Structure 1
Amino acid sequence: MAQRTPLSRERIVAAAMRVADDGGLAAVSMRNVAKALGAEAMSLYHHVSGKEELLDLLADAAFEEVPLVEIGAPWRAAMTSRADAMRAVLKAHPWALGLLESRSNPGPAVIRHHDRVLGLLRHDGFELALAAHAYSVLDAYIYGFVLTELSLPFTPEVGADAFAEGLELPADEFPHLAEMLERMVLGHGYDYGDEFGYGLDLVLDQLELRRAAQRG
């Protein structure tokens, strides 16, 4: 008989992530995670105190997938790379949108990530208050964009053209929206995801202005 691989916190968290990826955060329970591991639910309690700790560990595991920024790197390039990485993680694990900032017992990866981002901004000329504001607005933009991106009734694969055509907006009643659809969407290979970089640049441009102004 083949020997069963022993349970560990790492294996439990990995299984919980698979359960969440397949069924959303609501599917994560000690029973379902144990089932994914081919184990009894009670055996998980030797490694994890319960569902709340498991959710804390899940949040930490998601943050571990985002590369840490390096203090001393140019802030704008680092924040752009971090935004792209955060977006990729949130799209790969949609359940993380409602979890990453909601835990009252953040793990070491969560704390390290936050500390490193603030440290990079402070090192590259941001006063403390502006660094905190920058962190807040960047995460609000990233999380909000991904939430919209995942909720759209069309995808890059299916395309926005069919959706736009189905709206059948009368130009005399909705002239501005009809103009946008005609000049930017229909027949133009429109991909909402392309908006991410443009919007991010708008945020970063304003932060750069405020970073420069604080020196005056």
Structure 2
Amino acid sequence: MDAPSKKKRPRGKLSREMIEDAAFEVIEREGLSGFSMRKLAARLGCEAMSIYHHFPSQAHLYEALIDRQIGPLQMPDPDLPWRQRMRLAVLDYRRIGREHPAFATYFLSYRMNSPICLAYINGIVGLFNEGGFDQETAARLFRAIGYYLGGAILDETAGYAKGPSATTPVSNDQLARDFPNIAAAGRYFGTAEFDKTFDLGLEMLLDEMERIRDGANAK
């Protein structure tokens, strides 16, 4: 008996949006290391060559996924106080960075040098400029907030709880006996505490940014 033929998608029905939707699904299921155009084609019910018609390579596809995440982001309302505008911008970036956890490591390491990404970065640097910071300080604070965001997103999507473990981890009893400070702090390390911890750090950063700006303006 002949093997059943693979059901193919009707010609002309495949779109970039459909491919991107399926790519996120496959990446979240398989992880970045397990993703392939062949698996994506299987998810879509088409041949891999049909995907290459829209995206010449996996790198082109990943770039489109980044642009799709960054593209909808808007700069906060300029009529709002600067601190509120910066806070909203930071939270927006954190949100999209966490939307697809398995893709986050690529998202965070991507150079953001496509036109869509550069337009977004240009707006964020401009937001620092509009906050009263000189060019050098604006650039350094942009990098500093990026360090904080990158570390937070990485920890929240692929971090401590999901990372490699010691081959001989201590028991809960030993943890409580020999490392009491860690045992007591552990209740605040879980996913339910991420938002409160992130907000604490963000408020500290915003406080320091305003202190730097106000100190420079007072000279």
Aligned partner of 2:199 in structure 1 is 197
Give the unaligned 5+ runs of structure 1.
155-163
> How far 1:82 sits from its partner (Å)?
2.2
Q: Quote the Cα distance in structure 1 between the aligned partners of 2:19 and 2:53.
A: 11
Aligned partner of 2:165 in structure 1 is none
1:96–1:67 Cα change, 3 Å? farther
> How far 1:198 sits from its partner (Å)?
0.5
Size of the aligned set, in residue pairs, is 200
Deviations 1:188-213 (A, max 9, x none): x9943121100111111111111122
Q: Quote the Cα distance in structure 2 between the aligned partners of 1:190 and 1:108.
A: 34
Q: Quote the Cα distance in structure 2 between the aligned partners of 1:66 and 1:167.
A: 47
Deviations 1:175-200 (A, max 9, x none): 6x16xx54x6669x994312110011
Aligned partner of 1:92 in structure 2 is 99
One-letter code aligned to 1:61: R
TM-score by length of 2: 0.76
Aligned partner of 1:33 in structure 2 is 40
1:30–1:97 Cα change, 3 Å? same
Give the unaligned 5+ runs of structure 2.
1-8, 163-170
1:70–1:116 contact (8 Å) kept in structure 2: no
1:61–1:25 Cα change, 3 Å? farther
Q: Does 1:206 align with 2:214?
A: no
Q: Does 1:142 align with 2:143?
A: no
Q: Quote the Cα distance in structure 1 between the aligned partners of 2:24 and 2:132.
A: 38
> How far 1:133 sits from its partner (Å)?
1.4
1:135–1:84 Cα change, 3 Å? same
1:174–1:33 Cα change, 3 Å? closer
TM-score by length of 1: 0.77
One-letter code aligned to 2:193: Y
Percent identity among equivalent residues? Answer: 28
